[in-house]
Structure 1
């Protein structure tokens, strides 16, 4: 049951994961709690959200005059300004968190999301211990109980952000359907793999059929992915990557232009020079002399006016 880890993890979470800022949202976590034997509370309310997860035990939760039975793997959400109460004769093993959005540091979309959460259709849910919110909650406490290290705060705040998102999606079903439309297209992982393969193998011909075969898809499918997701053809993307790598090598190394042409997949120095000059507006030799004293590996045609 990880009781000791949960209890020691609570201390670190309250120390490190009380201010969470990511993706245009800032959250203030008022407290992280672990209560192995929770019995009764007086009827009360908060100005913020409080979520609880029943690790074990039985009891009841009263929310705005509605009574709900509690048992293992129930999760319940107390909304701002709503009177609520927890009762148990035998004791509940509870995990709990009190949090709110810092509106002055968050965008309008997040304010709208939190308003939806205030009116969620169900405040008590059976989540099972393998659902995302339950797993993240336990993972947070176990991770927080680890020996302190240089990455602990970053790990905890990132996990805490993911956990709060999972809580919101658990209690506000409409957010799940809204997010479906915002998810990357199913081919995005393929595009990512294709880009990695191209960048790691620029010295090779990189024919469309070759890369498509590596990804176990057709050349036509791969071509469509590049056009639909990047707005450029496969060949234009490969050429851009070759030129970018060549520009970096010209600036950062003493390799000959012939070697650079070879490393970036150009069949001949003549072809490399012609393509590079067309794209950049200066020959490889001119480009190298122009940037030799600059502390950058990026390039921009407008910079050539400095020559």
Structure 2
């Protein structure tokens, strides 16, 4: 199976990040690029095994391996068996070299045991947005930034303590994502991490830059926007699917974040 989208690049070139390609290769095949790519690439392994070769060095890849490549980096990769499944994106952007350099992404590098679930969620969002030939480029730009930061934390923020604290936050986020249609309380989220309410709130805000319930509200609205854009569900149905039993209250929260009602958002075609 080969699922690939290469967006038509037009006005997106003015954006700080824009997608040039995204795909799932299952199985992955042999690729050799003596001059590298003109885009940045992030590739992670969902299953199976393969080999990356960069600068004469071989890097075995298996489930949870992630590889970063900057433009112009000669490389080759190939499967060890017939079931190497990879997920990859390639992207460019004005000033991206300086930005990536500040983060430490200056040469080909790999990391093992990445959080596949978090990468998959963001990857799938980018893939869906890439399928929208009208407005998808703008949403992809936001999501690529999010994806880069996810990968950055996997590569450079790996101390035992940061992983422990990150796991408390990540477990809560996964729970929120999986239960966005139902009522979610702070005590419930703290209980998932097995920590006190005060400690959970402090750790979550430190990691995410916002309080837990603000994240819940933002996640609900982000989900609602996707449903408004991609389905014909009524406002009441969307409210229920995003955890609001009262459509009027849902509309009030939506307006607070977006500056317009859900109906106006749908009518204007914002993404």
Q: TM-score range by the shorter chain?
A: 0.3 to 0.5
TM-score of the aligned structures, taking structure 2 as reference length: 0.47
TM-score norm. by structure 1 comes to 0.42
> Max radius of gyration: which structure?
1
